[in-house]
Chains A and B, each alone.
Chain A
């Protein structure tokens, strides 16, 4: 017959082992959760700055589109027949007199 203490020690040893495993699992989960938490923070922060970059790019696009529109209008105005004929007149150009009879 085994001594009672042996059984209790074995039971205590087994219990300690299960306890240790539980602690390790808990610890690992906690580390994982905390790491994920910080990873999310990093990504969220990055996205926040990306949001600002996006807003800046949008603004830049709008600014360039507006400049394009303004330049297009200016080109059209300067190359219009109305403007060119006035400039030609101011520069002393005259319509040729010899035309179709």
Chain B
């Protein structure tokens, strides 16, 4: 035979063999694997951005966790048996963390939860119409390892990162938490997590890659990665030490005074940055579901209350700024007044005739304040109330901020002008009060409060500058009010608790709580607001208790708490006494 023909036959035979083997591997072979040999699209999860304190410590970070899924058709055991094995691993984490200290009731609850979980898992795994069922989300690594050791085929895990809060309940309401939206995606709720959710969450990437039957990438094949956009970390102004001091003092004070709850805000008056924001009772976001969901809300920005006597600072600032009164103006203030069919009296039924404006603040004289507000008139008073930021959100970067409630000017009656002058009949939020008094501390400049100081977007840093809003009162007025507040601390009802040697500007407040059209005679909101050192303030602070039972007065509950915290802050900031 011709050599060429032989050669041709060899070539054709070899090519035929190769084609046949390719055909065999692609179409005939039953290769057991989790993937097929076509283009595989998979999601590359993006990590959620962390939240840092001012010292770079991660207040919120991510920990490894997994989504547990099952394939009902591939289970090696009966669904009920698999469910019985898995159920104890998938109940609340509190039973694991507190395992050594469970009471009989807790044990009973644990058994009930296991039984319920077992039923739920059995139902899912028995459903043969689904190829894939989700059994649990956010399963911690140690639980995953235990489940893997039980060697049940038909189960698998996918990456499903979980939020972790190293400081447990610290600043819980301010930070917020991460839950699921209606699509099962991680979403921030409340606080910083809620406000900055779009920046923090990032964007998942996609990987389109050809893989062989064993899941190994074919490099000559198509490879279409879309890199994930990692979530942007948020750097906050929260000072962990200040937050710790505040939370410790607040918790013990709420217990000591028998209050329903308490809130403290500490801010830098010059920049508007929040140094600490605490509420008690609070919750541990790591075990969020074990707590009452009413605790998730941040009362510091979401709760409105009638501020009472701390609002006198606003009334007096307006009056001094407009020169309708000055430091030498004297008020008759010789007894209760009848206004609009109501009697206005002082809180202790003591009257100080010919009081100066400074003495009106010192004595927290309601009658004196009605004198001042009459000098102002509704229009001017209302104008200053809105200038100080009341009636609208402060634009703090926390979700769920409330605007408070100020009745429209046109609805104000004579009695409203009188009562508003001492902080009743209007509703404000704690953060609005802090913003307003910060303006007094800051020479009359109103700055919008902020928690985040910068956000890192890939390698770009986006600094968040202080938000200067407007000049509310002149620096002269601010100085005059400061002097009044210093005098109120040194000579007022709370003078016994004030630390010696420091100039602290402050004002007590005791407001009645409205209830079904009248004021409850027994329940109050007790508060104290101030800043220190008075002439170069390092911090402004509001302490507020709701319904303290040991004493209704701010001077006996909120003021001592303020001063206790202030003492620790003086040590922390190394602020020496002036004397």
Q: Which residues of A approach B to under 8 Å, CB–CB?
A: 23, 26, 30, 34, 44, 47-48, 50-52, 54-55, 66, 69-70, 72-73, 76-77, 79-82, 85, 99-101
Contact = CB atoms under 8 A, between A and B. Distances in A.
B567 A100 contact: yes
Contacts of A70: 63-64, 141
Contact of A76 (B58, B212, B216, B502): B58
A44 B244 CA distance: 62
B500 A101 contact: yes
A34 B11 CA distance: 9
A54 B167 contact: no
A100 B168 contact: no
A100 B499 contact: yes
Contacts of A76: 57-58, 61, 164, 166
21 contacts: A47-B220, A51-B212, A51-B216, A54-B217, A54-B219, A66-B141, A70-B64, A70-B141, A73-B61, A76-B166, A80-B167, A80-B168, A82-B166, A82-B167, A82-B170, A85-B244, A100-B501, A100-B570, A100-B577, A101-B499, A101-B501
Interface of B: 4, 7, 11, 57-58, 61-64, 141, 161, 164, 166-168, 170, 212, 215-220, 240-241, 244, 499-502, 567-568, 570-571, 577
Contacts, number: 76
Given A55-B216, A66-B64, 12 more contacts: A23-B4, A47-B219, A54-B217, A55-B215, A55-B217, A66-B141, A72-B58, A72-B61, A76-B61, A79-B166, A81-B240, A81-B241
B573 to A, nearest CB: 11
Nearest to B244: A81
Nearest to A67: B64
Given A66-B64, A77-B166, A80-B167, A100 B502 contact: yes
Contacts of A101: 499-501, 577
A30 B11 contact: yes
Nearest to B58: A76
Given A51-B212, A55-B217, A100-B499, A79 B4 contact: no
Nearest to A34: B11
Nearest to A41: B18
Given A69-B63, A72-B61, A99 B568 contact: yes
Given A73-B61, A76-B57, A50 B219 contact: yes
A52 B216 contact: yes
A69 B164 CA distance: 11
A81 B63 contact: no
Contacts of B4: 23, 26
Contacts of A100: 499, 501-502, 567, 570-571, 577
Contacts of B58: 72, 76
A54 B567 CA distance: 60
A26 B8 CA distance: 11
A85 B170 CA distance: 13
A2 to B, nearest CB: 33
A27 B167 CA distance: 78
Contact of A48 (B216, B501, B567): B216
B179 to A, nearest CB: 20
A73 B217 contact: no
Nearest to B53: A81
Contact of B64 (A34, A44, A69): A69
Contacts of B7: 30
Contacts of B168: 80, 82
A85 B248 CA distance: 11
A73 B567 contact: no
Contact of A51 (B61, B218, B244, B567): B218
A45 to B, nearest CB: 11
Contacts of A34: 11
A81 B64 contact: no
A10 to B, nearest CB: 25
Contacts of B161: 69
A66 B567 CA distance: 44
A47 B167 CA distance: 49
Contacts of B216: 48, 51-52, 55
A65 to B, nearest CB: 9
